[in-house]
């Protein structure tokens, strides 16, 4: 028994790799059946939606770094730590819905409390949330960055046990706080939290269990250690020193050689101020990120959405403009947000691409994102698993 057949047409299609003209995407049972560029008439029984000659179809966007349990208020830490389970889960549910409406159909959640994003993933229908790749509570040192989320582990035995627990719970990625962070009083973004040997142990254990590994790293020493420990992605990649963010050529060469994903946390609402603590040293950080983009490293965008009001849920499309400001072409920014990010979050071939067999998560835009990347904020329609959700 097959469901209905949808035929989505537009004057332009970005398929995750290339921009093409006049495409029809056929969708059945939540999956893309075919993508046609010949102009052939869709099967007679298909329900046709034609978005018109100026519209664009593209894969749903992928945010590589979110925090669905955080409410995006000025007091987000207090909410996530002191709210009861039901309250935090309700927050996560709203966050997921807002994210989906913004055209983000897959997220990688890199820090929750009590594995609540897994409860969201397993308990809420696909049409009401993006696809979720979850890390659970980030692994951190006693009183280290985000220790209040409950993921404290120190020493080889505890670190291995922490990775195993996440695998058993159903996480697909392990997140480690390799340096301090801004949200945690007493933790220092400019200092590493773990020894390189500990980081390597976590990566090895994660890979052995089939999970990927992501490291939060602001301090230069922590970034270097995380890259050399073999993390699949390094978050923030701020390369901070007391003199600000610095560009180390040998480090960028190593990142390119290893194929490490650099997950830059971007996106602020227009008119929104930078989070406190980021503004200082921001010029050197922008210089660094520009060099990272130019280096040929595999750059993807995350948002850290949820941590502050200017980084509310659904802010991701603004990250694409920032990627172009860092020197990416609009087409490369679109690739980073789709096929590139799909690979970074472990969904290559299924997400971020319009081709037969891929999940039917897609967007229709009013105007060309290749001419002006800001068009990604002009969303006409969002489809998730073949159903229109906006
Ligand atoms: Zn984060």
CA distance 26 to 243: 54
C-alpha separations of 13 from 331, 366, 383 in Å: 12, 12, 15
Q: For the chain, which ranges sit under pLDDT 70?
A: 1-2, 274-279
> How many Å lie between the centroid of ligand 1 and the Cα of residue 138?
9
> How many Å lie between the centroid of ligand 1 and the Cα of residue 304?
5
CA distance 317 to 293: 18
> How many Å lie between the centroid of ligand 1 and the Cα of residue 51?
36
User: What pLDDT, in 10s, does the model give residues 259-285?
Assistant: 999 999 998 888 777 666 666 778 999
User: Are 236 and 178 contacting, i.e. CB atoms less than 8 angstroms apart?
Assistant: no
User: What pLDDT, in 10s, does the model give residues 134-193?
Assistant: 999 999 999 999 999 999 999 999 999 999 999 999 999 999 999 999 888 888 888 999
> How many Å lie between the centroid of ligand 1 and the Cα of residue 302?
9
CA distance 20 to 14: 6
Predicted local distance difference test score (pLDDT) of residue 1: 47
Predicted local distance difference test score (pLDDT) of residue 83: 78
> How many Å lie between the centroid of ligand 1 and the Cα of residue 175?
9
User: Are 53 and 11 contacting, i.e. CB atoms less than 8 angstroms apart?
Assistant: yes
Where, residue-wise, is CATH 3.20.20.140 in the chain? 61-344
> How many Å lie between the centroid of ligand 1 and the Cα of residue 76?
12
Predicted local distance difference test score (pLDDT) of residue 176: 98
Where, residue-wise, is CATH 2.30.40.10 in the chain? 5-60+352-388
Q: Does domain 5-60+352-388 have CATH number 1.10.3720.10?
A: no
CATH level 3 topology of 61-344: TIM Barrel (3.20.20)
> How many Å lie between the centroid of ligand 1 and the Cα of residue 373?
25
> How many Å lie between the centroid of ligand 1 and the Cα of residue 198?
21
Predicted local distance difference test score (pLDDT) of residue 111: 97
Predicted local distance difference test score (pLDDT) of residue 182: 83
To which residue do tokens 């049972």 refer? 29
CA distance 102 to 379: 8
CA distance 92 to 355: 31
Q: What angle do CA 385, 14, 290 make, to 5 degrees?
A: 110
> How many Å lie between the centroid of ligand 1 and the Cα of residue 264?
10
Predicted local distance difference test score (pLDDT) of residue 268: 82
> How many Å lie between the centroid of ligand 1 and the Cα of residue 266?
11
Residue 266 has a CB neighbour count (10 Å cut-off) of 22
> How many Å lie between the centroid of ligand 1 and the Cα of residue 204?
22
> How many Å lie between the centroid of ligand 1 and the Cα of residue 361?
25
């Amino acid at each position: 028994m097959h469901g209905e057949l949808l035929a989505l047409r537009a004057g332009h299609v970005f398929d995750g790799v290339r921009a093409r003209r006049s495409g029809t995407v056929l969708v059945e049972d939540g999956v893309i059946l075919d993508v046609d560029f010949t102009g052939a008439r869709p099967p007679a029984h298909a329900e046709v939606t034609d978005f018109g000659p100026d519209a664009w179809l593209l894969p749903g966007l992928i945010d590589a770094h979110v925090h669905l349990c955080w409410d995006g208020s000025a007091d987000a830490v207090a909410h996530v730590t002191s709210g009861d389970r039901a309250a935090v889960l309700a927050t996560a549910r709203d966050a997921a819905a807002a994210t989906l409406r913004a055209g983000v159909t897959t997220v990688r959640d890199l820090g929750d409390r009590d594995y609540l994003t897994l409860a969201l993933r397993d308990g809420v229908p696909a049409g009401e949330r993006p696809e979720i790749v979850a890390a659970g509570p980030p692994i951190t040192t006693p009183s280290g960055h985000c220790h209040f989320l409950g993921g404290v582990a120190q020493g080889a035995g505890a670190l291995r046990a922490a990775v195993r627990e996440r695998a058993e719970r159903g996480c697909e990625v392990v997140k480690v706080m390799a340096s301090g962070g801004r949200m945690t009083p007493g933790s220092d973004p400019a200092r590493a939290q773990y020894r390189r040997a500990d980081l390597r142990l976590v990566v090895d254990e994660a890979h052995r269990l089939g999970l990927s590994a992501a490291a939060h790293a602001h301090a230069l020493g922590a970034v270097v250690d995380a890259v050399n420990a073999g993390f699949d992605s390094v978050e923030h990649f701020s390369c901070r020193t007391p003199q600000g963010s610095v560009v180390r050529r040998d480090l960028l060469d190593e990142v390119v050689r290893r194929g490490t994903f650099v997950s830059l946390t971007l996106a602020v609402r227009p008119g929104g101020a930078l989070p406190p603590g980021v503004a200082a040293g921001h010029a050197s950080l922008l210089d660094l990120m520009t060099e990272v983009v130019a280096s040929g490293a595999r750059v993807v965008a995350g948002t850290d959405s949820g941590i502050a009001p200017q980084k509310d849920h659904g802010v991701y499309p603004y990250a694409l403009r920032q990627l172009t400001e860092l020197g990416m072409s609009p087409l490369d920014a679109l690739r980073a947000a789709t096929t590139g990010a799909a690979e970074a979050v472990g969904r290559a071939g299924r997400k971020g691409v319009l081709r037969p067999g891929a999940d039917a998560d897609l967007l229709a835009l009013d105007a060309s994102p290749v001419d002006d990347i800001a068009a990604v904020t002009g969303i006409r329609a969002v489809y998730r698993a073949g159903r229109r959700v906006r």
